[in-house]
Amino acid sequence: MSKNTSRRQQLLRASSQVLATNHGATLGEIAEQVGVGRATLQRYFPKRQDLLREIAMDALREIDKTLDSVLRTDTGPEESLRTMFELLAPLGDRYFYLASFPDLMEIADVDKAYERQLERLNRYVQELKQQDLFAPDIPTAWIVQTIDLLIWGAWYTVNRGAVARNDAAQLAARTLVRGLGR
C-alpha cells in the first residue's frame, strides 16, 4: 500500500469519526478536528460530497469484509451473534454515518452496495430466526435495525469510556437475544 493510500485511509477514518458526532461539519471543521490543513483534506477530497461518498463506500467495504468473516464461521447462533458484535462494534461510527446521511442513498453505487449489505444481514437474521434465536413474530427488519443501533451503541459507549471494549459485544448480543428472543 502506498503512502498516499495509507494517508487517504487515515483521513477517511478520522473524518468519519468527526461526522459521526457532527453531521454538518464543513471541510474546514473536519480538517481542523482531524489535525490537518483544509488544503490537505481537499487534495484527497476536493468537495465535501466527495468525502461523504468515499466515507460511505469505505464503510460499506469494511462492513462487508467483517460480515464475510462472521457469515463463514460455523458456530452456534448466539456465538455467531456475539462474534458479529465483537467485529462490527468498532465500526459503529461508520454504521451511524450511513444511517444519518440519507442523501447518500441518492448516490447510485452507495445505494446499491447498501441494499446488497442489508439483504445479506436480512438473510443472516432469517437464519437466526430459523434456529429459534429470535421470536418468529418479530419482523426481520426490526431485528436488523436493532442490530444497527446496538452496533452504534456499543461503539459509542466504549469510546466514551462507559463500557469496557471487551464487554460491549457481549452486552449487545445479550440485549438483542434477551429482548427479542423467544
Tens digits of per-residue pLDDT, 105-114? Answer: 888 899 899 8
The answer on pLDDT for 1 being more than 50 is no
Contacts of 156 (CB under 8 A, 6+ apart): 92, 96
Q: Which residue has the higher pLDDT, 53 or 94?
A: 53
Which one is the CATH code of 52-180: 1.10.10.1100, 3.40.50.10600, 1.10.357.10, 2.130.10.10? 1.10.357.10
Express each pLDDT in 62-103 by its tens digit.
889 988 888 877 888 888 888 889 888 888 777 777 777 777
Question: Across all residues in the chain, what is the average pLDDT?
Answer: 87
pLDDT for res 163 = 93
Parse the chain into domains and list their residue ranges: 52-180
* Pick from 147, 134, 155: nearest CA to 77: 134
- Torsion from C-alpha of 165, 78, 91, 154, nearest 10 degrees: -50
Express each pLDDT in 30-49 by its tens digit.
999 999 999 999 999 999 98
Joined together, the cell numbers standing for residue 110 give 452507495
Q: Which residue has the cell 490543513?
A: 37
The Cα–Cα gap between 159 and 157 comes to 5
* Distance linking the first and last C-alpha atoms of the chain: 47
